Amino acid sequence: MQPVTKLPKVGTTIFAVMSQLAARHGAVNLGQGFPDFPVPDRLIQALDRAMRDGHNQYAMMTGVPALRQAIADKTADCHGWRPDVDAEITVTSGASEAIFDAIHAVVRAGEEVIVLDPCYDCYEPAIDLAGARAVHVALDPVTFAPDWDKVRAAITPKTRMLMINSPHNPSGAMFSAADMQAVIDLLRDTGIFLLSDEVYEHIVFDGARHESALLYPELRDRAFVISSFGKTYHCTGWKVGYCIAPPALSVEFRKVHQYNTFCTFTPAQFAFAEMIATDPDHYRQLGAFYQAKRDRFRAQLEGTKLKPLPVPGGYFQLVDYSAVSDLDDLEFSRWLTIEHGVTGIPLSPFYAQPSAEQRLLRLCFAKGDTTLNQAIERLSKL
């Protein structure tokens, strides 16, 4: 039988495609975003202990209480506001599950969701599967700042959700306090929910403040705020994330979550609970940890023809390759992998309407020095 696809625009994700190509050609993989250095030993030990202590059966649907408590404490520590442990926090199988659940909890067939391009690739398929339509508003092609007049112009009576992401993947751009005020003004007196994807919340540089939606009571009231331990604890393969949302939104969110996954890998929930409680400095110092990597990598890039763009947050460096090649970004990333042994991620898959002129590649610097040195050695020959 041949099914009629429900997702005609979707192929295999660019992350899987580029990782496969990197493996086939023995390239240094700075494409798919994942650290190549170890998970903190304390976390591994806590995971091992959780399994040996017998925490191997279904967790509570909403998440292990100790982890929800730790998330509430961490949120209070970071944002000066404490979500309710029982009514407002749900642990999910990665941020990806939380994004899917939030969209399906409140967005109906025929409605619209505004996304800001370039946007992370799992947003639109989830919107499509809900029978809704993604309305794409482009960020500035150079600064990746939002144009709030354009966003306002995209709002219609059908708009049910606005999705934002700061620090931003793929650009590293961050929302300012003025941007958050613009979101508040835009959504006031509307029935539009906010989905704030904050998976890089702790990876912010140069003394800047992460502008979480949780800092703003008016946004908090209508927001699903989503994060991921994969980014914060160097374990993207564990796929544990969470959603903070007001009680009424969490009720609807959990209706989807309970029949999507029901619960998330139990031992890891115990391990994260212990890690957050006993070593809060890990997330407090993550910005400094990655800032050192960013600065070192950018200094190394000075010795290549690639022009690095500013990186306010996150663990991706955009580089302008127009001094090297006039190929479009899909072809350039293939060429760079096959001919020069370095893999990055093209930006065009993150756009509904990719620009014909943009010559940018995303390089992940969540890597050890040896990996980055090897990449730079190859890139300096371009």
From start to end of 221-282, where are the E strands?
223-228, 241-244
In this structure, what is the dihedral angle of CA atoms 265, 271, 277, 280, given to the nearest 10 degrees? -100
Answer for which of 29, 62, 75, 169 binds ligand PMP (CB under 6 A) is 169
Distance CA 27, CA 111 (A): 43
Instruction: For ligand PMP, give the closer residue by CB, 232 or 300.
Output: 232
Residues with Cβ within 8 Å of residue 218, at least 6 apart in sequence: 184, 187, 188
269 binds ligand GLN (CB under 6 A): no
33 binds ligand GLN (CB under 6 A): yes
Q: How far is the CB of 120 from ligand PMP (least distance, A)?
A: 4
Residues with Cβ within 8 Å of residue 16, at least 6 apart in sequence: 32
Is residue 52 within 8 A of residue 39, CB to CB? The reply is no
33 binds ligand PMP (CB under 6 A): yes
Distance CA 283, CA 251 (A): 29
Instruction: For ligand GLN, give the closer residue by CB, 169 or 171.
Output: 169
Residue 95 binds: one of ligand GLN, ligand PMP, none (C-beta under 5 to 8 A by kind): ligand PMP
Answer for which of 196, 228, 337, 348 binds ligand PMP (CB under 6 A) is 228
Helices (H) and strands (E) in the chain, counts: 15, 13
Pairing of strands 345-346, 360-364: antiparallel
In our burial notation (b when 16+ CB lie closer than 10 A, e otherwise), range 94-116 reads bbbbbbbbbbbbbbeeebbbbbb
Instruction: For ligand PMP, give the closer residue by CB, 111 or 197.
Output: 197
The stretch among 56-64, 94-102, 156-164, 344-352 that binds ligand PMP (CB under 6 A) is 94-102
Identify residues 10-29 at the interface with ligand GLN (CB under 6 A): 13, 15
Identify residues 150-169 at the interface with ligand GLN (CB under 6 A): 169
Q: How far is the CB of 264 from ligand PMP (least distance, A)?
A: 11
Q: Of 72, 85, 92, which Cα lies nearest the Cα of 243?
A: 92
The stretch among 182-190, 236-244, 256-264, 294-302 that binds ligand PMP (CB under 6 A) is 236-244
Under the rule (CB under 6 A), what is the footprint of ligand PMP? 33, 94-96, 120, 165, 169, 197, 199, 228, 230, 236, 239, 241
Under the rule (CB under 6 A), what is the footprint of ligand GLN? 13, 15, 32-33, 169
